[in-house]
């Protein structure tokens, strides 16, 4: 498991559910470090625009234990 | 850059940001300048009574009016020292790796659609990367960012960046980018499109 790999959450846990992450969701590792067994995973959301016209996303960023993830698409540098 | 440009920064809303900057100090431990060192800090936190979050904040620069709460937790013995306002390219730097644009933003469906529909495609990856770096660095040293999540991985900030408009309306394309703060005035892009703020 490494940065830019697409990973799937394989368990339902309260600490993930609290931020909207549930079993079966797929995200991308966006930090090279596994810290205390956790990867920083970002789950894609939608684009929205604020009142100033700035775009933002509803992406969810969450630290997830490696043991709770499987790689669904391994990243290979082109 | 003019002499005064570095002293006073006014954001898009006309607000003047603080020009007093501080360095977060966690005495007795070294600053984590690399990912490996940040990881070492987490391990150190596990084996000692040090807080891994504080260890990762050690040496990071913030404007006085836009910094994590101090003390961060009960018995936090961190403190801050006033520093010279960071200067872009000299005492502050922003890093956006090409992979975040070329292999992430232009691969994920929603993000790809967002950039494509605003006149940018994968061939523009390097241009986008460089522009994001330049704009974000200027805003970071201007204190024009929102504090986001602080966890084991570090302190995140959200910076609004603009790319030149490429649609018929010609308005600049403004969007939120997510960064991780490192010691010594360095910020590294985590994600090229993020929430307004992640508390
Ligand atoms: Zn502390």
ipTM: 0.95
Domain co-membership, B7 together with B32? yes
Residues of chain B whose beta carbon is less than 8 angstroms from a beta carbon of chain A are 12, 35, 38-39, 42, 46, 52, 99-100, 102-104, 108-111, 114, 149, 151-153, 156, 160, 171, 173-176, 178, 180, 190-191, 193-196, 198
Q: Which range of residues forms the domain containing residue B32?
A: 2-83
Domain co-membership, B52 together with B98? no
Distance between CA atoms of B178 and A42, rounded to whole angstroms? 11
Give, in order, the Cα–Cα distances in Å from B165 to each of B110, B171, B175. 19, 5, 12
Across chain B, mean pLDDT equals 88
Give B176 to chain A, closest Cα distance, Å: 5
Domain co-membership, B111 together with B140? yes
- Residue B173 resides in a domain: yes
Does the pTM surpass 0.95? The reply is: no
Record the tokens describing residue B61, joined without a space.
């620069």
Q: What does DSSP assign to residue B185?
A: G
Give the Å distance between the CA of B177 and the centre of ligand 1: 27
Residue A39 confidence (pLDDT): 96
Q: Structural domain tally of chain B?
A: 2
Q: What does DSSP assign to residue B93?
A: E
Residue A66 confidence (pLDDT): 97
């Amino acid at each position: 498991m490494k940065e830019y790999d697409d990973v799937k959450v394989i368990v339902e846990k309260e600490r993930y559910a609290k931020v909207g992450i549930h079993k079966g969701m797929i995200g991308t590792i966006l930090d090279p470090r596994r810290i205390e067994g956790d990867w920083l995973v970002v789950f894609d959301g939608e684009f929205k625009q604020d009142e100033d016209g700035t775009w933002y996303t509803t992406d969810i960023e969450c630290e997830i234990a490696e043991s709770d993830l499987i790689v669904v698409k391994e990243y290979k540098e082109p | 850059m003019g002499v005064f440009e570095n002293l006073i920064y006014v954001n898009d809303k006309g607000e003047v940001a603080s020009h007093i900057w501080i360095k977060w100090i966690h005495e007795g431990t070294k600053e984590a300048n690399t990912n490996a060192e940040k990881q070492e800090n987490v391990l150190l936190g596990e084996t000692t009574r040090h807080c891994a979050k504080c260890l990762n904040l050690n040496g990071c620069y913030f404007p006085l009016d836009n910094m994590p709460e101090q003390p961060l937790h009960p018995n936090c013995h961190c403190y801050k020292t006033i520093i010279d306002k960071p200067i872009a390219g000299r005492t502050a730097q922003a890093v956006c790796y090409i992979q975040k644009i070329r292999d992430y933003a232009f691969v994920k469906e929603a993000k790809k659609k967002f950039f494509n529909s605003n006149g940018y495609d994968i061939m523009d990856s390097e241009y986008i990367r460089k522009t994001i770096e330049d704009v974000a660095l200027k805003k970071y040293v201007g204190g024009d960012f929102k504090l986001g999540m602080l966890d084991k991985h570090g302190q995140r900030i959200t910076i609004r960046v603009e790319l030149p408009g490429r649609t018929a309306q010609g308005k600049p394309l403004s969007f939120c980018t997510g960064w991780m703060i490192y010691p010594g005035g360095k910020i590294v892009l985590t994600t090229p499109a993020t929430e307004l703020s992640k508390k």
